[in-house]
């Protein structure tokens, strides 16, 4: 796919792609409480081991989860990444939208005032 004027993909892309799925967000919440094996996670989310392995792989590629295999058991834990860059990116857009909504509030207030003033003159 050709991308015009867009920078090369970054770890932001991997993070947001990983976080876009409800199951993967649930896995992160679960691992925030305690480490868990792939089998435990698959049982908790009522899915196959293969399906859970794929979800964990996406999270691992984004640096959000690490795994360690001991014998036949692969244990998952939260990764070292703390999503600071992602949070900063979101905050910049939150501030942008807040400023736009504040400006819209001013316009709406002015229109409402004009409407009230127009009614009073007719009375």
pLDDT of residue 108: 92
pLDDT computed for residue 49 by the predictor: 96
Digits of tens for pLDDT over the chain (123 positions)? Answer: 455 555 555 788 999 999 999 999 999 999 999 999 999 999 999 999 999 999 999 999 999 999 999 999 999 999 988 888 888 989 998 999 999 998 999 999 999 988 888 776 665
HEC secondary structure over the chain = CCCCCCCCCCHHHHHHHHHCCHHHHHHHHHHHHCCEEHHHHHHHCCCCHHHHHHHHHHHHHCCCEEEEEECCEEEEEECCCCCHHHHHHHHHHHHHHHHHHHHHHHHHHHHHHHHHHHHHHHC
């Amino acid at each position: 796919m050709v991308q015009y004027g867009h920078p090369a993909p970054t770890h932001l892309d991997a993070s947001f792609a990983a976080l876009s799925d409800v199951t993967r967000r649930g896995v992160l919440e679960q691992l925030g409480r305690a480490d868990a094996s792939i089998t435990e996670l698959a049982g908790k989310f009522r899915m196959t081991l293969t399906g859970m392995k794929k979800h964990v792989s996406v999270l691992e590629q984004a640096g959000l989860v690490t795994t360690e295999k001991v014998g036949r058991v692969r244990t998952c834990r939260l990764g070292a990444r703390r999503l600071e860059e992602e949070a900063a990116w979101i905050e910049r857009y939150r501030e942008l939208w807040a400023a736009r909504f504040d400006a819209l509030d001013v316009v709406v207030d002015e229109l409402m005032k004009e409407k009230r003033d127009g009614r009073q003159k007719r009375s």
